[in-house]
Structure 1
Amino acid sequence: MALFDAWCNFDETKDKRKRLWRLTEREGAREDIQAELADAMRSHYDRLERIAKDVDRLGYAAAAKILKAVLPQGAKARSGDLGEILATELVEGKTRFTVPIRRLRYKDGREMALRGDDFIGVGFDDDDRLWLLKGESKSRQRLGKTTITEARTALNRHHGRCTPDSLLFVANRLLESDDAGDQELGRSIRDEVGLEALRPNRIDHMFFTLSGNGAPQALIDDWSGTSTDRNHYVVNLQVEDHGEFVEAMFDEVAQLGDD
C-alpha cells in the first residue's frame, strides 16, 4: 500500500508458512503521509462520502462536530482503535485479503472495544474458493509478554477458526448491502458458520502490534513457536513516540478544515 511504502522501512523474515514483518518509520516520512492516514482513519468511522455530504449541507464546523461524536476521546480507546485501523490497512495493502467490513462504524459506544476477532480478512484461491484471515491487533507504548500471550490465546480460541459471532457480524452486514457481490460473499461467510467447511490451512492468522518499542524477544518467540499448519503473519510497527502519535493523529482526524 502506498501509505506504508511511503512511511515505513519493511523487514521480512520467513520460515515456511510463517512471516515476521518489522516496520519502522522512515525519518521525516510521517509528515508526508499524515493527511492520507487521517483520511483512512475517518473512513473507518464513517463513509467518506457521508462526511462530504455533511460538509455540503452544514459546513465544516458542524460536519466536524458530527465526526467527533463517534471518535474515542480516551487514550486507551484511541490506541486500540488506531491499532485495528492500521492492521486493516496493512492487510489490504500487503496481503491478498480484503477486510470487507469496517467494524468501528458499528461501535455502540465510542470508548467501548468491540468484542470478537479484531479483524477478518476475506480472500479466494485460484479456484475461487473462500479463504479467511483471522486477526488480532494490540497497541501499546511498551509491548510485553503478557499482551502477546493474550493475543495468541485469542487467535487460538475456537480451534484457530474465526469465531462464529465475528463471522456472523461480517456476514450480516454484507447481506444488508444493496450490492449483489456483497450479498453473495455474506451468504458464503454465513454458510461457513453452519458448515465449518474451511480446513485449518485455509484460515490464516495475523497478529499485528503497534508499539513504542521494537519487536521484543517475546514477539519473536511467539512467531518462532507458531505451527506451520497455516499461514501466520506476525507484525510489529514501531512508532517510538507512540502516545504522542496516537493523540496527534486523532487531532488531525477531527479537523476537517476548509481547504
Structure 2
Amino acid sequence: MAKIAEWCGRTDSKIKTHSLAYFEADAAKLTSAVTYVASVVPGHYTAANRVAHILDKLGKAEAADYIITKLPTGPRSRSGDIGEILASGWVSEFTGYKMGVLKLRWKDHREMAMRGDDILAVRPDAEGTVRFLKGEVKSRASLGQKTIEEARKALLGNDGRPTPHALAFVSDRLFESGDTDLSDLIDKYQLKERIKVDQMSHLMFMFTGNNPCKLLSADLEAYKGRIPQFGVGLRVSSHQDFIKKIFAKVVADGQQP
C-alpha cells in the first residue's frame, strides 16, 4: 500500500452528516513517502504475474523496460495518475471498500486519461447485497473552485450512481480474473436491479499542493442530495516535485542490476 498514514498528518471533521478528511504530508517524511508510493506504482499499470512471466522468459532488463513503456511521461498525465493511485490507496487503507480493478492497467495510451468514473469500489455484505463507492479524483498543484465544480458535476451524473460503462468495465475485468462472484453481483445491479441511493457513497479526492479544505467544506455544505459523501484532501506542498521523484524512483528501481 501507499501507507498514507505513515507520512501524513490527519485531521477529520464533519460537514453536516458528511465526512471530511485532510491529510498533509510531513516534509521530514517525503523521502519515505516517495519510496512507499513508488513501490505500488508498477502494480497499477501491470499485473505482477505479467512482469514475472517476462522476467522468466526474457530477463530483468526486459521486464523493467516493459514497465517503463507503460508509465506516462507527460507532467499532466503523471499528475492525474498519481492522484488516482493515491485515491485507490486511500480507499484500501481507510475504508472497508474493495477496489474493483486497478483501471490504469487498461489505458489505451500511457498519456491518455481513461473515461468513466475515476473510482468504483464495492463492499459486499453477508446478505448478498453490495454498497458502491463512486469517486472523482483531481490532482492540482493549486486547486481552484472550477476543479471542485467539475468533480461535483461528475459525481451527480447518472443520478449519482456509477455509469453503466464503469460497471460493465469492472465486471468484465473481475470475470476475466476469475472473481466471478463479485462480477455476478455487479451484473445483478447493473442489469437486473437498479442501484438504490442507500447503496451509494461518493468520494471527492483532491491531491493538491495547497490546502483544499475550504473548497471541500463549501462543496459538502452545498450538497443537497441523500448520498453520503467523503471529501478527502491530500496535500503535498511540493506537489510537482513529489510526482517527478516518484516516477524517477520507479524507473531507478527497475533498472537496478
Normalising by the smaller structure, the TM-score range is: over 0.9
Decide whether the 8 Å contact of 1:139 with 1:209 is kept in 2: yes
Normalized against structure 1, the TM-score is what? 0.92
User: Given the alignment of the two structures, is residue 205 of structure 1 paired with residue 171 of structure 2, yes or no?
Assistant: no
Deviation at 1:223, TM superposition (A): 1.8
Decide whether the 8 Å contact of 2:45 with 2:71 is kept in 1: yes
Q: CA RMSD in A?
A: 1.8
The aligned residue for residue 144 of structure 1 is 144
AA at the equivalent of 1:7 = W
Decide whether the 8 Å contact of 2:2 with 2:36 is kept in 1: no
Percent of residue pairs identical:
35
Deviation at 1:56, TM superposition (A): 4.2
Decide whether the 8 Å contact of 2:79 with 2:139 is kept in 1: yes
Secondary structure of 1:84's aligned partner:
helix
Secondary structure of 1:172's aligned partner:
helix
The aligned residue for residue 34 of structure 2 is 34
Q: Deviations over 1:127-165 (max 9, x none)?
A: 342110001000011000001000000000000000000
Using the alignment, how far apart are the partners of 1:53 and 1:126 within structure 2?
A: 36
Decide whether the 8 Å contact of 1:17 with 1:230 is kept in 2: no
Deviation at 1:225, TM superposition (A): 1.8
* 1:1-259 correspondence runs (5 A): 3-15=3-15, 17-125=17-125, 127-177=127-177, 179=178, 182-227=179-224, 229-255=226-252, 256-258=254-256
Using the alignment, how far apart are the partners of 2:126 and 2:226 within structure 1?
A: 19
Decide whether the 8 Å contact of 2:15 with 2:217 is kept in 1: no
Deviation at 1:51, TM superposition (A): 2.3
Deviates more, 1:207-216 or 1:155-164: 207-216
Deviation at 1:126, TM superposition (A): 5.5
Secondary structure of 1:28's aligned partner:
helix
Q: How many residues align?
A: 256
Decide whether the 8 Å contact of 2:10 with 2:23 is kept in 1: yes
Using the alignment, how far apart are the partners of 1:10 and 1:216 within structure 2?
A: 12
Deviation at 1:60, TM superposition (A): 3.3
Deviation at 1:228, TM superposition (A): 5.9
Deviates more, 1:188-197 or 1:5-14: 188-197
Decide whether the 8 Å contact of 2:208 with 2:234 is kept in 1: yes
Moved over 6 A (4+): none
AA at the equivalent of 2:43 = S
